[in-house]
Amino acid sequence: MTISQIFITEKARLLKEYIQKSKDIFGMVSDDKIILGSDNVYVLERMFQLAVEVVIDINNYLIKELDIEPAEDIEGTFQTLARKDILPMDFAVKISPTVGLRNKLVHVYEKVDRAFFVSNFRKNVDDFDKYISYVLKFVK
């Protein structure tokens, strides 16, 4: 096992930065105001995208460095880490759909309901903090 503390620490720092920016917006503006005409919805979409990309990077890095059998798809990387006791399985199942939502936002596979996105992100933003705490606990 050759896990780089520097890699994980830098990714954790970035993730915390993106999530804090999102929490700052959620703390200042209601969902209705976000949806109805502020650029904050675009900032939240971008922060979500970047947060999910950091999580994907960490998942793939751990799978590679720990020589774990790769997942069939990116969403499956969460369950792969759960099977190795890095993440709790129920949490892995809960957070893995963020990849699909990120793909919809980035690749415009289909129109994303902004009200649903903002409400859901606000409700689950702390999952990113939980994710990084599980990873940091594992690598220490």
Residue whose structure tokens are 């709790």:
88
The single-letter code of the amino acid at 81 is L
* Amino acid 1: pLDDT: 58
Q: Using CA atoms of 90, 92, 97, 100 in order, give the dihedral in degrees to the nearest 10.
A: -160
* Amino acid 81: pLDDT: 98
Residue-range domains of the chain with CATH: 5-139 (1.20.120.580)
Sign of CA pseudo-dihedral 77, 13, 126, 115: negative
* Amino acid 109: pLDDT: 57
Between CA 73 and CA 90 the distance in angstroms is 18
pTM for this predicted structure = 0.93
* Amino acid 107: pLDDT: 80
Residue whose structure tokens are 């675009």:
42
Between CA 127 and CA 94 the distance in angstroms is 9
pLDDT averaged per 10 residues in sequence order, the chain, 140 residues:
88 98 96 88 95 98 95 96 98 96 80 89 97 95
Nearest C-alpha neighbor of 41 from the set 113, 109, 126, 137: 113
Neighbours of 24 (CB within 10 A): 13
